[in-house]
Amino acid sequence: MQLIESLSNLYNNPDTDPVGNVIAFIGAKGGVGSSTVCHNTAWAMSEILKSNVVVADLDLAFGTTGLDFNQDPVQGIAEALQSPERLDEVLLDRLLTKCSEHLSIFAAPVVLDRDYEISADACDLVLEVVRQNVPYVAVDLPHTWTPWVKRVLFQADEIVITAAPDLANLRNAKNLIDLLKLNRANDGPSHLLINMAKTPKRPEISAKEFSVALDITPTQVIEFDAESFGLASNNGQMIEEYAAKAKAAQQFRELALTLTHRKELKEAAEGEEAVQAALAKMTPADRALGKRIHAIVKKTAPDLTPKTWYGMPAYADKDGKVVVFFRDAAKFKERYAMLGFQDNAALDDGSMWPVAYALTTKLTKADEARITKLVKQAVS
């Protein structure tokens, strides 16, 4: 009990130092653009959230962080890994290279006149110090398989696997995902990003086929865009800096929101606003009914996200599929409003069950209790 209480106090005690999130980026195969994905996503996180982000480049011999951000740091992460016990807030500040107001890089030395041997414990210590000082650490992992790479992946808060749409990437991504599932049973699933899709004159495996084979839906599918990526890289810029209207720029922003769990909050806020706007347009009687349904659903099934569906207030599951909706009587000039459920609502009862209910202009307490029970069963 004492151990449980101590762990609980870490989260409840306002005086406890904050601990940042470690987001690991790795390619299913060399040359798939994992570093580019890491750097653009980290930049987007720093710009959108206005929170401090550090990119830790662990590809010591061939890392591209300095190039991608147009920096030429004298010191970086190699010095920290050589003497991890010396790393503290002051030394960390000296070793980081500031790229913008909220983004710093922990750059790799990228010289070949020495050997690089990273111990798993040294890597642990360095990343722990960094995460104690910034909210987000984006770890750019090389395409290699060592004890320290495995440990970083097993301990990371979020993982992004970048793969090109071919057979070797599919095989490697499957091996990675299966291993991570086995060793991260209590963590969320890894994020799969398919890069360089629709490359001209190249046969490829479709995103749908990837999803079926890996039992995971790609978080993003970024299409081949040699001009934007090539020129941005050569200029030491991120995609959004070079071509703000490029499709990939918006995709990196969406990935940043997903990894920081802000996308769900953003969608919920936008959905709530849309539902309130839809209710405001209804007749007074329908609006009163709709507001009661809205309150009941939000209280009973808080995990459902409010949205509008064909202009009607609706509530969707984590996959974006509508579970329950409210249709006002005036929509189709009917004499009653309707509470409806979609086929993913768990209302099954034998070989026949109702999925729509007519609602009068005033709900009784018994009616509200019945609706509460239906919504609870629908999401069970």
Res. 3: pLDDT tops 80: no
**245 and 278 fall within a common domain:** no
Structure confidence at residue 1 (pLDDT): 47
Structure confidence at residue 9 (pLDDT): 54
**31 and 109 fall within a common domain:** yes
- CA atoms of 336 and 328, how far apart (whole Å): 8
**174 and 42 fall within a common domain:** yes
**292 and 368 fall within a common domain:** yes
**353 and 257 fall within a common domain:** no
Judge whether 344 lies within some domain.
Answer: yes
Res. 50: pLDDT tops 80: yes
Judge whether 325 lies within some domain.
Answer: yes
**228 and 306 fall within a common domain:** no
Tens digit of each residue's pLDDT (9 = 90 or more) over 322-373: 999 999 999 999 999 999 999 999 999 999 999 999 998 789 999 999 999 9
6-35 average pLDDT score: 78
Structure confidence at residue 232 (pLDDT): 93
Judge whether 281 lies within some domain.
Answer: yes
Structure confidence at residue 75 (pLDDT): 92
Structure confidence at residue 17 (pLDDT): 59
Q: Provide the pLDDT confidence category of residue 301 given band limits of 50, 70 and 90.
A: very high
Domain boundary residue among 236, 261, 286?
Answer: 261
227-240 average pLDDT score: 94
Tens digit of each residue's pLDDT (9 = 90 or more) over 187-201: 989 999 999 999 999
Judge whether 3 lies within some domain.
Answer: no
**355 and 373 fall within a common domain:** yes
Tens digit of each residue's pLDDT (9 = 90 or more) over 137-163: 999 999 999 999 999 999 999 999 999
> What range does the domain containing 318 cover?
266-378
Provide the whole-model pTM.
0.73
Cα torsion for 126, 128, 134, 140, to the nearest 10°? Answer: 60
Domain harbouring 372, CATH code: 3.90.1150.200
Q: Which whole-number Å values give the CA distances from 207 to 170, 198, 246, in the listed order?
A: 10, 10, 20
Write out the two tokens for 44. 């987007």
> Which carries the bigger pLDDT value, residue 182 or residue 265?
182
With contact defined as beta carbons under 8 Å apart, do 304 and 316 qualify?
yes
Res. 203: pLDDT tops 50: yes
Judge whether 2 lies within some domain.
Answer: no
**293 and 158 fall within a common domain:** no
How many C-beta atoms lie closer than 10 Å to residue 125's C-beta? Answer: 18
Judge whether 99 lies within some domain.
Answer: yes
266-281 average pLDDT score: 90
How many distinct structural domains can be found in the chain?
Answer: 2
Structure confidence at residue 270 (pLDDT): 86
**251 and 286 fall within a common domain:** no
Report helix, strand or coil for 338. strand
Domain harbouring 156, CATH code: 3.40.50.300
**253 and 302 fall within a common domain:** no
Q: Provide the pLDDT confidence category of residue 15 given band limits of 50, 70 and 90.
A: low
Domain boundary residue among 261, 288, 312?
Answer: 261
Judge whether 27 lies within some domain.
Answer: yes
Res. 14: pLDDT tops 70: no
Domain boundary residue among 261, 295, 315?
Answer: 261
- CA atoms of 184 and 156, how far apart (whole Å): 10
Pairing of strands 103-106, 97-98: antiparallel
The string of DSSP codes covering 65-105 is HHHHTT---SS-HHHHHHSGGG--HHHHHHH-EE-SSSEEE
The lowest-confidence range among 18-22, 116-120, 193-197, 199-203 is 18-22
Judge whether 356 lies within some domain.
Answer: yes
Structure confidence at residue 263 (pLDDT): 75
Write out the two tokens for 164. 């090109």
Tens digit of each residue's pLDDT (9 = 90 or more) over 59-99: 999 999 999 999 999 899 999 999 999 999 999 999 999 99
**152 and 187 fall within a common domain:** yes
Res. 241: pLDDT tops 60: yes
- CA atoms of 36 and 197, how far apart (whole Å): 15
**113 and 48 fall within a common domain:** yes
CA-based nearest residue to 227, from 248, 254, 201: 248
Res. 11: pLDDT tops 80: no
Q: Provide the pLDDT confidence category of residue 6 given band limits of 50, 70 and 90.
A: low
